[in-house]
Amino acid sequence: MKLTNEQIERYSRQIILKEVGGKGQEKLLNSKVLVIGAGGLGSPVLLYLAAAGIGTLGIVDSDKVDITNLQRQVIHFTDDLKKEKVLSAKEKIEKINPDVHVITYNTRVDASNIREIIKEYDFIIDGTDNFPAKFLINDACYFEKKPYSHGGILRFQGQTMTYTPGNACYRCIFETPPPKGVIPSCSEAGIIGAMAGLLGVIQASEAIKYLLSTGELLTNKLLFVDILNLEFRVINIKRNKKCPLCSESPEIKELIDIEQPICKISI
């Protein structure tokens, strides 16, 4: 795909970067990124990837826009209340950049459909808000040999890492989901909207760097962010030789739908 004059002007601030150039912009326009979750993390990811000229964006989400979403899910507006999130997000992306082809999946990913959905994409973004989905995405990307960005947020904190085949996966750090009730959800503990924006922007930049084969990715690293105390920490990680998924003797050999174990601690 050769750039048109209009595209050269639209993406000019990227094209002048030596890490991008005209060939890099063409590569982005030919790339496909899937964003699972059009919420707090998915919103900034989708906005920035659309603006950057990612040629195809897939969006997976089964929810509708709720008024409690608007504090952080910046791709959705007040007029979108009760609208399917995938449709709301698609409308904004198409207004931002008509170059982008948007594919919507108004569904939840599970063991029966996720591999079929992710297989056509070059990079996957985990913008989900629950542990079973995060482990499912990790496992599916491992089996399909797909790179992906993990993200998680709560209160004023967030964490992210990037998985590429051959490097440490999410289960190398967290082998199984925590017991249900041990870690509260955003609806229970709260979330500052800017935290979602910050971490989502980092996830978007990881996707762009991967697609351009430039810069240093968060592979074999876990980035922890605390914006209340303005702390950024990078924790180096290694592939776990006893990882239940990616070790030489894995326990997990196929996708299953995970249920979080019930916490047995009495409070």
- Report mean pLDDT in 10-residue bins for the chain, 267 residues: 93 97 98 97 98 98 96 97 98 97 97 97 96 95 98 94 97 82 63 95 98 98 96 96 94 84 38
User: Are 174 and 237 a contacting pair, CB within 8 Å?
Assistant: no
User: Which structural domain range is residue 181 located in?
Assistant: 17-236
- Give the pLDDT score at 266: 33
In a domain, 248, yes or no: no
DSSP E strands, the chain: 32-36, 56-60, 101-105, 123-126, 148-154, 157-163, 221-226, 231-236
**Which two tokens mark 260?**
């979080």
In a domain, 259, yes or no: no
* CATH number of the CATH domain containing 125: 3.40.50.720
- Give the pLDDT score at 58: 98
- Give the pLDDT score at 240: 94
Q: Pairing relation of β-strands 157-163 and 101-105?
A: unpaired
List of long-range contacts for 258-262, beta carbons under 8 Å, 24+ apart:
258/131, 258/132, 258/135, 258/136, 258/177, 259/132, 260/131, 260/132, 260/177, 260/178, 260/179, 260/180, 261/176, 261/177, 261/179, 261/180, 262/179, 262/180, 262/181
pLDDT digits (tens, 9 = 90+) for 70-102: 999 999 999 999 999 999 999 999 999 999 999
In a domain, 3, yes or no: no
In a domain, 47, yes or no: yes
- Give the pLDDT score at 259: 72
- Give the pLDDT score at 186: 56
Give dist(CA 246, CA 89) in Å, integer.
34
In a domain, 166, yes or no: yes
> Letter for the amino acid at 112?
S
Give dist(CA 133, CA 140) in Å, integer.
10
- Give the pLDDT score at 153: 93
In a domain, 247, yes or no: no
- Going by the DSSP 8-state scheme, the letter that residue 27 receives in this structure is H
Give dist(CA 48, CA 40) in Å, integer.
13
In a domain, 250, yes or no: no
Alpha-carbon torsion (2, 21, 45, 213), positive or negative: positive
- Give the pLDDT score at 181: 58
User: Are 139 and 171 a contacting pair, CB within 8 Å?
Assistant: yes
In a domain, 138, yes or no: yes
Q: At a CB cut-off of 8 Å and minimum separation 6, what does 58 contact?
A: 32, 33, 34, 35, 102, 103, 104, 105, 117, 121
**Which two tokens mark 76?**
């959705």
Number of domains in the chain: 1
**Which two tokens mark 120?**
């056509």
